[in-house]
Amino acid sequence: MSARGDVRTYSGFRAMTLVCLVVLYSPLIIVTVYSFNASRSITVWEGLSLQWYADVFWGPESGKFKQAAINSFSIALIAATMSTAIATSAATGIVRGGRFRLRTASLGLISLPLMVPEIVTAVATLIFFNFIGFTRGYLTILVAHIAFCIPFAYLPIQARMQGIEDTFEQAAQDLYATKAQAFRRVLLPMMMPGIIAGFLLAFIVSLDDFIITNFVKGAGVETLPTAIFGSVKQGIKPNIMAISTMLLVVSIAMVTISYVVSKKDSST
Amino acid sequence: MPGSRNAIDVCNAVKRYGSFTALQSITLSIRDNEFFTLLGPSGCGKTTLLRMIAGFEEVTEGEIFLFGDEIENLPPHQRPVNTVFQNYALFPHMTIEQNVMFGLEMRGSSKDAARRKAGEMLELVQLAQFSARKPSQLSGGQQQRVALARALAPEPKVLLLDEPLSALDLKLRQAMRSELKSIQRETGITFTFVTHDQEEALTMSDRIAVMSAGRLQQLGEARDIYERPVNRFVADFIGETNLLDARVEAADASVATCRLANGLTLDCDAIGNARPGADVHLSIRPERMTLAAANGDPWQGTVRENIFVGTDVQTVVQLQGGIELTVRTQNSAAGVATIFDPGTDVAVDVEAGAARMLED
Ligand SMILES: Nc1ncnc2c1ncn2[C@@H]1O[C@H](COP(=O)(O)OP(=O)(O)OP(=O)(O)O)[C@@H](O)[C@H]1O
Ligand SMILES: [Mg+2]
């Protein structure tokens, strides 16, 4: 086999790859490792300890973090559920609704927010809430999260749906299922991997969001990212690394689940 | 038609997609209990007609009746007909048994009754041992039989099959032909079968509707269509044939004498357009002619080539005036039939009644 055209023959390719990997992963590794540090310092290693994890749960800042975690996870759960439900109906309508007017437009409209700079969305959302006189707090964060999670939930669902030929629904209707039964018994189970992937993606995006949340949250209501940011402003302590590591684990778990779900599906 | 005893009556059905007319006023009846085939080349509208009967395509004009009841405005789930889809469309998230039970449950059968019936159906298609598998764990041929069992389970009044064998290899296709035929006899359900394969149609069907370009060309029993094609399209599409230009010399009520361009004459059954002087087309099947050593008969020509096709040999004979005929001679070990080498002069004997006058 000729090596011409093989990327490995380009000089410096190996080094470039290495640089990318280091830049991407060394911060994560350092944060994870130092979250187990016995020292107060974030640069000097003094031995293995779980004290910063204990600090997160029982230390002086634990109350603040606990409330932030409750806010973050409840918002992520509700926002992911709502946005996935909305995205599922939207995908059903747009992919299965036949060739209605403005079909392409609706498709573009629903995925456009992915391309708008987040800061613009954040400012716009804030202005919108002020305009309608919505007091900022937990509810404004939730509403904003539901809205911006929709396109993230929508994309995997739509991709999945386009791979499902409409003969399946026709076969169901041919076998005496009403449209609603065909949707529930055949289409929905077949879409499920896309729906789960969409849900997980929306969940992660919501859990992780900082910019929009920071704009629309009221005074005193924090999510994990805003709480972490608040703490960091007073100097980085290793308990931040412990929280970050736990968030990282949650993210990895979600990504793994979504990978396993899609893998399992393509094998059957 | 109200009061009809036919399984399906299609009356003046038209299908238009925008300005394109896919079906031009189709009228046909499918009898109760028969194996009926819609045959035609790709794009002639077979699937469209089938989907109109199933309810997936709206009828632009005309009516469709199922045992005398008008059905063209009912949604698919209210029509007691079932379809075997070309790609089978088995539900991938359900087991084979659940697939077969689906229609029964949707019709309101209890789980137990549905399971019992599904078992019977899987027995019928010899797949009982696979009931717990998922569709993706079966071969194409097995999936095909599951699709059949699933569509038969609710005991539809008519079963619609859209090229169900086209994805199978030749051997399996041939085996499935006789299996389908025997299942049709066993269950007594009317089968409406779509194919573009004329051999499939001829071997399986009680009656065949030949379609082309959105029109019904001819409807009749297999033998009828093969031996008495009404027009050039049918003669050419079903089996092989020699199409000849001719002019009617003389005609009475039953027999017409036609003269070919090279002056030779032939007798054939007279049909509507057989007025003396009319230009017509004749069809002669290659197996309805025999060759012999030249004997001075005006029906003679020169052998151009012999094509060996396994069961028989096709000999191309050039008559005077440049008319070419293909003659088919059965291979036989006894060597009864002589094969003439290219270049030899031979006499061509056309069987009485072999020439068929066409309507166009
Ligand atoms: N949704 C549609 N919109 C426009 N034209 C269509 C549509 N569906 C079918 N047609 C046209 O109608 C004609 C008949 O199509 P149909 O699918 O019935 O053909 P067919 O006889 O089943 O062919 P094949 O053997 O290839 O399956 C074709 O010319 C096709 O292009
Ligand atoms: Mg077709």
* DSSP sequence for A160-180: HHHTS-THHHHHHHHTT--HH
- List the single residue in B89, B107, B154 with the smallest CB-CB distance to A171: B89
Of residues B62 and A261, which shows the higher confidence score? B62
Q: What is the pLDDT of residue B331?
A: 78
Distance B142 CA to ligand 1 centre (A): 28
Contact across the interface for B83 and A165, Cβ inside 8 Å: no
The mean pLDDT of chain A is 87
* DSSP sequence for B259-272: EETTS-EEEEE--T
Q: How far away is chain B from the Cα of A194, in angstroms, using its nearest Cα?
A: 14
Distance B86 CA to ligand 2 centre (A): 8
* DSSP sequence for A101-134: TTHHHHHHHHHGGGTS-HHHHHHHHHHHHHHTTP
Q: What is the pLDDT of residues A152-168, one digit of tens each?
A: 999 999 888 888 888 99
How many residue contacts between A and B have a Cβ separation below 8 Å?
A: 64
Q: Which of B242, B243, B246 is nearest to B256 (CA)?
A: B246
Instruction: Tell me B91's DSSP state.
Output: -
Distance B84 CA to ligand 1 centre (A): 18
A97–chain B Cβ distance below 8 A for any pair = no
Annotation: CATH topology of B240-358: OB fold (Dihydrolipoamide Acetyltransferase, E2P) (2.40.50)
B150–chain A Cβ distance below 8 A for any pair = yes
Q: Nearest bound ligand to CA B45?
A: 1
A190–chain B Cβ distance below 8 A for any pair = yes
The CATH architecture of the domain made up of B6-232 is 3-Layer(aba) Sandwich (3.40)
Best-predicted range by mean pLDDT (A36-50, A167-181, B266-280, B316-330): A167-181
For chain B, residues classed under CATH 3.40.50.300 are: 6-232
CA distances from B240 to A233, B195, B286, B315, B351 (A): 88, 18, 7, 13, 17
Cβ-Cβ contacts under 8 Å, B107 against chain A: 176
Query: Which of the four pLDDT bands, split at 50, 70 and 90, describes residue B77?
Result: very high
Alpha helix (H) residue ranges in B72-221: 96-106, 111-124, 140-152, 170-187, 198-204
Whole-angstrom distance, CA of residue B301 vs CA of residue B278:
26
Q: Which of A104, A250, A262, A103 is nearest to A195 (CA)?
A: A262
Mean pLDDT of B83-99: 94
Which residues are B275's β-sheet partners?
none
* Cβ proximity of B233 and B243 under 8 Å: no
H/E run at residue B28: strand B20-30
* Ligand 1 atom with least separation from CA of B41: 25
Contact across the interface for B91 and A168, Cβ inside 8 Å: yes
Q: Is B48 in the pocket of ligand 1 (CB under 6 A)?
A: yes
A266–chain B Cβ distance below 8 A for any pair = no
Burial-class residue B58 by CB neighbours within 10 Å (0-12, 13-18, 19+).
Answer: exposed
Which of B86, B96, B98, B102 is the mutation pick for testing A, counting most A CBs within 10 A?
B102
* Ligand 1 atom with least separation from CA of B49: 18
Q: What is the pLDDT of residues B219-254, one digit of tens each?
A: 999 999 999 999 999 999 998 899 999 999 888 878
Please give the order of strands across the beta sheet that includes B279-284: B265-269, B255-260, B242-251, B279-284, B356-357
Whole-angstrom distance, CA of residue A112 vs CA of residue B312:
67
Q: Is B56 in the pocket of ligand 1 (CB under 6 A)?
A: no
Q: What is the pLDDT of residue B26?
A: 94
Mean pLDDT lowest for which of A2-16, A27-41, B119-133, B256-270?
A2-16
Mean pLDDT of A106-120: 85
**Torsion sign (Cα): A240, A242, A248, A253:** negative
- List the single residue in A176, A185, A268 with the smallest CB-CB distance to B134: A268
Distance B165 CA to ligand 2 centre (A): 12
Is the ipTM reported for this complex over the cut 0.85? Answer: no
Q: Residue A52 region, left (φ>0) first, then alpha (ψ -120 to 50), else beta?
A: alpha
Q: What is the pLDDT of residue A256?
A: 87
Distance B177 CA to ligand 2 centre (A): 18
Backbone angles phi, psi at B158, to 5 degrees: -140, 135
Whole-angstrom distance, CA of residue B206 vs CA of residue B225:
11
Q: Which of B329, B350, B325, B355 is nearest to B229 (CA)?
A: B355
pLDDT at A26 over 80: yes
Whole-angstrom distance, CA of residue A52 vs CA of residue A55:
5
The mean pLDDT of chain B is 90
Query: Which of the four pLDDT bands, split at 50, 70 and 90, describes residue B202?
Result: very high
For chain B, residues classed under CATH 2.40.50.140 are: 240-358
Distance of CA B311 to the CA centre of its chain: 22
Whole-angstrom distance, CA of residue B5 vs CA of residue B23:
25
Q: What is the pLDDT of residue B321?
A: 84
